[in-house]
Structure 1
Amino acid sequence: MRNRRGRGSGAGLRPSDSSGRGGWRLLLPPGIRRPQVFHQGVRGYLARVRQFRPRCRRIFPPGHSGGKFVSAEPSPEVWRGRTSAPATLRAPPSEAGRFGRNFAFAAVGQLVAQVLTFVLSISLARRFDPSIYGIFVFGFAFPSWFLLLVSLGLDEAISTNVAADRSRARRYLTTVALLRLLLVAIALVALWVATQIVLADPLARSVTMLLGSASVISSYANTFNSIFRAFERFEYPALVTIVERSVTVGISLRLLSLGRSLLEVCVVFLIGSLITLALSGAIATRKFAFFTKAVNARTLKEIVKTAIPFGLANTVATFVFTTGLVLLTILRDSASTGLFNAAFTLLFGMFSFLSILSGTLLPMMSRLSQESRRKLARALQRIQKLALIAGVPLALGGWFYADAIIALFYGTAFLPAADSFRILVFSFCVDTAMMGNAPALAAIGKMKLVLYIGCVAAASTIALSLLLIPPFGAVGAAYAFFVSHLLAAGLGAVAVRRLISPLGTSRMMVKSAFAGFVMLFVLVALPRLPLLLGVATGAAVYFAVLFAIRGASKEDRALVGEALRGALPIAVVRRFIGMVRGALMR
């Protein structure tokens, strides 16, 4: 009995050392062989289990997520026994993966739109003189004030509330669409009256009304785009934007090549806005939500209550970025507006990149603030440190090569815009130094404080523009923009220091400034280099000095390398192309 039970004879479960695979095996007494029935029993058991495998691919009902950690779509190869590898179930797309996909679509749509708009802006500036180009710029800037009557934060209200409860989609779409019909009529009438009062030039009036009408229609079309965002289908807004901007810019460039006037180009923008409205409306009502037959007053009250904070924030941002362009036309002339916009357009793309980055940081900082305020502070300091490393050489290099940059893109007729560019480029440096302050404050529940700081910046922009534009023109508008950004950055830094942690970028600021001035000294000492060669030389000198004085640690370099590797991996690129192709096929 002792031998059968394997006691005292070396039988039992022991680690397997007879094969390289390791694991555990059953050890029998030396005189007893493993019966063949042992293996047949295991195979028979597995065969009986296979008889009851699911005959359908889904192991959950349609629409079920498949659980929290496993996919609702098990691998067919695992069920059918076509692989000898261990069976593994794929994890579902995580929140981070969904966020990365949405960010990719939003960034690509905005990038394509800005590049095409920039190409058209340069073509218009080279085709017409600064005065005519200034009329075109004013035609977009001045109506943006009246667009606030149409937007009112309603897009954000739809995106926020419908995302929380998608059963509200039809009610919200109907209510906002009807409300905006009234707001569109009010905005167009107010724009026409203001245009007749402010402008005396018939061409300027016509251009402003055409471009203003196009902007109002596009703002109304955002009602449907907000439905896309609420359902987290960012590929549709990107697709609509790319189609509209491609058609508008393509036809406009063709008209310019044929020698057509500015008025005909403005008509093309009006047609492009109608394309946006038709395409976004058709997709939204067909695939997501259709209109209801009645409007609920309770729904309207709920929408307005949610939209007010977002509307105030949009108002602040609009006044900060458009005050200089509008007041230059009113207080000076359209030529000054064209010169200022030539400098401002080159930097607007970088400001938009900072805006996208800020929106990306918000969910991450919200999560870190829930875990630990100390983790949030460390992440904020690291972000500001890396942003400062990139912002200082861009500001100093842009200041040094301002004339060459303006002449490269706009031609020698716009060389006076270099004076404004030298001032505006330091606004970008200030924003990079304070990168992450607004998302960090919003993450700890201080969004009202961010709004108050923005109101101070908008008020200072308006006051300084009224004071400096009459005597200094475009340069005065640039100074007003820079000082307001500097004031907002200072207030944000004080708020972060009191509510989160002291700033940890003072040493990095000193080291970056030292490396930047060494770079500037080398560029001044050398003979005047061409633009591209000078940029490469300056960047090499800056980073060499920065590494020599240990401005960037190994952790910083590793973090940057990891971010660059994760930004555009091959798998993400392939998935992005596949999703775009699928959206186009649908």
Structure 2
Amino acid sequence: MNEVQRIVKNISVTGLAQVLTSLMAFVLFIYLARILGEADFGKYSFSISLTTLLATLTDLGVNQLLVREIARDKDLSENYINNAIILKMPLGVITLTIVPLISWLLSLSKEMTILLYLFGFYNVLLTISGTYLSLFQAWERMEYVAIFQIIERSVTVTLGLAVLFMGYGVFAVALVYVAAGVLDILIAASISFKRFVRPSFKFDPALQWRLLVEGLPFGLNSLFAMFFFKIDTVLLGILRDDVAVGIYNAAYNPLLNLSMIIAGMVSSAVYPVMSRQFTNGGDILENFTMVSSKYLSIISFPIATGCLILADRFISLFYGGGYTASIIAFQILSLFIPIRLVSTITGTLLSSINRQGFRMLSVGLSATLNIILNIILIPLYSYIGASIATVMSELFLYMLFLHYIGRYYKPVNVNSTFKKPAIASVIMGVAVHLMKDLNLLIMILLASCIYLGVLILIRTFDEKDKMILMKLMGRNHEEC
């Protein structure tokens, strides 16, 4: 299997897992909201969100560092993985000791404190099992990541729905999550020890210190990213009301989840490849970045255009005629899709060239801008202001990534990949507008054909694309 086939395989299996697990999570989310009721569902949402934030203290970016280092030298696998597991155990304990402090500071009830412990324990377990997933990713064996994710989500959703339908409440749901967390570690560890490394308790203080220091920029990047994605919702709740939060999230969550699925399956597949290409030198990494950006542009521009023009149809499909106020926010937020997806490649490039500190700085600065814009715009325009702030912050993050790539690697003209997909998307958009009254599925199929036809007519695909296709088919370019 050549590298192109391996990348496509990894993207495919990751994408399948992402889609399946996202659908299962969506089903559980709907029934949690319906059966638990507003109060208990609020307790669930608060607990899982806060402890997910706290769990970054258990990882501190170690998992992402492991992917990069092991992808470059697979002989490091056993020593790095085993020491990372040993390191995370005390970090997990420290994470859980923060729960009573937060409970005291926020004057939480005993019930809420118990929920924080349960969901906190689950998130710590998930972070530790994620260490083994980093090993699978570094070895570019994404089928094991997919198997793990599907089993984990299947158990959580099946048992979660079972306890809900049997009449149990939020505590039973939390115990289901804890049981799933224990199963996560057992599955991930068993695959790792059977296929990749041997278990060992050999303690290497120097290595663990290195993992902490070099992983910290990755960890801070994850922390800033969480603020980047969630601060608009928090500030809407503080500066406006629950109605504004609901309207905004009805528009934001479908687009966020869609972009995260695509970005996640691409970045997890290309990160180890890009890390290895950097150590090999030459122009391979630059060319790979351009090609990856080109295909993400081809994917993202028609999605953004379709969401912009058909916002009313999609909102009606999702919410059965409700949340009509979300349509404008949905249209504005659709603009961030191409920016975010191409930023996935530029951000991954920074990490692969050992400049993860500047990726962290970029996300931190963008999160700060997002906070400032939200504070200014939300009092004036409510959820519309939050939508504008999100798009502007995404654009700022993309520009920062390009700036640091040009300064510490070389100028990479990623913007040139936008032109032809944008032109084809405009033509497609005009056609979609003219046939808005058609069945939605038929319209999407026709629009896809029009878009692809325009891409071919304006010669979007060149000799490099032909070489990629031949490699994907397992043939050498010279055979053509």
TM class, shorter-length: 0.7 to 0.9
1:453 aligns with one of 354, 362, 372: 362
Partner of 1:463: 372
Map 1:567-586 → 2, pairs under 5 A: none
Partner of 1:490: 399
Distance of 2:92 and 2:205 partners within structure 1 = 20
Aligned letter for 2:372?
A: A
Distance of 2:235 and 2:178 partners within structure 1 = 25
Whether 1:530 aligns to 2:439 is yes
Equivalenced residues, count: 469
Aligned letter for 1:216?
A: V
Tell me the CA shift for residue 366 of structure 1: 5.7
Unaligned runs of 5+ in 2: 475-480
2:425 aligns with one of 516, 522, 527: 516
Is contact 1:133–1:338 with CA below 8 Å preserved after alignment? no
Tell me the CA shift for residue 487 of structure 1: 0.3
Aligned letter for 1:243?
A: I
Whether 1:503 aligns to 2:405 is no
Map 1:59-458 → 2, pairs under 5 A: 106-124=14-32, 136-158=44-66, 164=73, 169=78, 173=82, 175-195=83-103, 197-198=105-106, 210-226=118-134, 235-257=143-165, 261-281=169-189, 288-292=197-201, 295-329=203-237, 336-347=244-255, 348-362=257-271, 363-364=273-274, 367=277, 370=280, 372-373=282-283, 377-432=286-341, 436-442=345-351, 446-458=355-367
Aligned letter for 1:193?
A: L
Mean Cα deviation higher: 516-525 or 346-355: 516-525
Distance of 2:210 and 2:278 partners within structure 1 = 30
Mean Cα deviation higher: 127-136 or 513-522: 127-136
Q: Alpha-carbon deviations, 1:181-228, whole Å to 9, x = none?
A: 332233223234335545868887765554343222322333454455
Is contact 1:344–1:424 with CA below 8 Å preserved after alignment? yes
Aligned letter for 1:458?
A: A
Q: Alpha-carbon deviations, 1:12-43, whole Å to 9, x = none?
A: xxxxxxxxxxxxxxxxxxxxxxxxxxxxxxxx
Tell me the CA shift for residue 97 of structure 1: 7.0
Aligned letter for 1:456?
A: L
Distance of 2:279 and 2:131 partners within structure 1 = 32
Distance of 1:423 and 1:323 partners within structure 2 = 18
The structure with the largest helix share of the pair is 2
Distance of 1:242 and 1:402 partners within structure 2 = 31
Tell me the CA shift for residue 482 of structure 1: 1.8
Distance of 2:13 and 2:125 partners within structure 1 = 23
Partner of 1:68: none
Aligned letter for 1:453?
A: S
Is contact 2:267–2:345 with CA below 8 Å preserved after alignment? yes
Q: Classify the secondary structure of the residue corresponding to 1:310.
A: helix
Distance of 1:511 and 1:334 partners within structure 2 = 41
Partner of 2:478: none
Is contact 1:386–1:556 with CA below 8 Å preserved after alignment? no
Q: Alpha-carbon deviations, 1:367-416, whole Å to 9, x = none?
A: 3895644x655554444344323322211211222233233234344444
Q: Classify the secondary structure of the residue corresponding to 2:221.
A: helix
Is contact 2:2–2:471 with CA below 8 Å preserved after alignment? no
Tell me the CA shift for residue 101 of structure 1: 6.3
Is contact 1:154–1:304 with CA below 8 Å preserved after alignment? yes
Tell me the CA shift for residue 357 of structure 1: 2.0
Distance of 2:175 and 2:428 partners within structure 1 = 47
Distance of 2:11 and 2:293 partners within structure 1 = 21
Is contact 2:15–2:265 with CA below 8 Å preserved after alignment? yes
Distance of 1:185 and 1:446 partners within structure 2 = 30
Q: Alpha-carbon deviations, 1:293-314, whole Å to 9, x = none?
A: x745334323323322332332
Change (3 A) 1:331 1:176: farther
Using the size of structure 2 for normalisation, the TM-score is 0.78
Is contact 1:366–1:440 with CA below 8 Å preserved after alignment? no
Distance of 2:3 and 2:473 partners within structure 1 = 20
Which structure has the greater CA radius of gyration? 1
Unaligned runs of 5+ in 1: 1-92, 567-586
Change (3 A) 1:503 1:526: same
Q: Alpha-carbon deviations, 1:205-253, whole Å to 9, x = none?
A: 7655543432223223334544555677655544333222111111223
Q: Alpha-carbon deviations, 1:95-149, whole Å to 9, x = none?
A: 7777776666555544433332233234445667788766544433332221121
Q: Classify the secondary structure of the residue corresponding to 1:214.
A: helix
Is contact 2:420–2:460 with CA below 8 Å preserved after alignment? no
Distance of 1:233 and 1:560 partners within structure 2 = 21
Tell me the CA shift for residue 546 of structure 1: 4.7
Tell me the CA shift for residue 565 of structure 1: 5.5
Is contact 2:5–2:472 with CA below 8 Å preserved after alignment? no
Is contact 1:244–1:276 with CA below 8 Å preserved after alignment? yes
Q: Classify the secondary structure of the residue corresponding to 1:552.
A: coil
Aligned letter for 1:218?
A: L
Mean Cα deviation higher: 305-314 or 464-473: 464-473
Whether 1:478 aligns to 2:387 is yes
Change (3 A) 1:500 1:229: closer
Mean Cα deviation higher: 556-565 or 117-126: 556-565
Aligned letter for 1:250?
A: T
Percent of paired sites with the same residue: 24
Distance of 1:100 and 1:547 partners within structure 2 = 22
Change (3 A) 1:160 1:401: closer
Distance of 1:321 and 1:127 partners within structure 2 = 27
